[in-house]
Amino acid sequence: MRQAQTLNEAQLRRVLQYCRSRRHSARDETIVLFSFYAGLRAKEIAALTLGNVFDEVGAVRKQFILSAVQSKGGKTRTVYLNQRLRRALVEYAASLNLNDPHRALFESQKGGHFSANTMCQLFLDIYKALGLKDASSHSGRRTYITRLANKGVGVRLLAELAGHSHISTTQRYIDVNAEQLSAAVELL
């Protein structure tokens, strides 16, 4: 099975710019950011609640627990939110009523949570509109893991962040390209 395309910074900027032109711009942009900056799967993004990311007073959390029901494999894990994603969540919160922590963070057009399949379709629609034919809902996750690996984060930490039980799974996510190979040999 072919792996999802990893996106470079210019492609990610194009995706975010396109999201800003869509009907649900703040929602769609924040969904994409969760994929690229938290490494969440489409199923996990679809299952997020307001209470996952906002505390009792409406402040954005620095981390939260993704429950076994929300994650793949039926195990809990801690999700860490970087500054870029937290800033986006502050902006996104302006359009939300934060009173019910059990409400979906990202509501579908029908209201309530997206299904995992509908969330995957949202990603495909965005990428298709930009001509990114090999990109999928997993592209953000692969890009997240690859970027961290390229910055020197060890595979054990990557596996923990990704929620993988085996580092061999994480290693398959790391994309290698000619630029990285060239830089590697210059370390000698």
Q: Could you give phi then psi for residue 113, rounded to 5 degrees?
A: -70, 150
Residue 74 pLDDT greater than 90, yes or no = no
User: What is the C-alpha to C-alpha distance for residues 157 and 27, in angstroms, rounded to an integer?
Assistant: 29
> How many whole angstroms separate alpha carbon 8 and alpha carbon 36?
11
| CATH fold group of domain 9-140 | hpI Integrase; Chain A (1.10.443)
- pLDDT of 1: 56
Residue 89 backbone dihedrals phi, psi, to 5 degrees: -70, -35
Q: Pick from 155, 176, 152: which is nearest to 164 by CA?
A: 155
Q: Report d(CA 126, CA 91) in Å as an integer.
A: 21
Distance in angstroms (rounded) separating the CA atoms of residues 38 and 148: 11
Q: What is the mean pLDDT of residues 43-49?
A: 97
Residues 7-28, mean pLDDT to the nearest whole number: 96
Tokens of 134: 């090999």
Tens digits of per-residue pLDDT, 133-147? 999 999 999 999 999
The pLDDT value given to residue 172:
83
Domain ranges in the chain are 9-140
Query: What percent of the chain has pLDDT above 70?
Result: 99
pLDDT digits (tens, 9 = 90+) for 109-134: 888 899 999 999 999 999 999 999 99
Structure tokens at 149: 């690996």
For residue 150, which amino acid is it?
N
User: Residue 87: which residues within 8 A CB-CB, separation 6 or more?
Assistant: none
Torsion, Cα 61 63 66 67, to 10 degrees, reads -80
Question: What average pLDDT does the structure give for the chain?
Answer: 92
pLDDT beyond 60 at 61: yes
Mean pLDDT of 1-8: 84
**Tokens matching residue 154:** 């060890």
- For 10, other C-beta atoms within 10 Å of its C-beta total 8
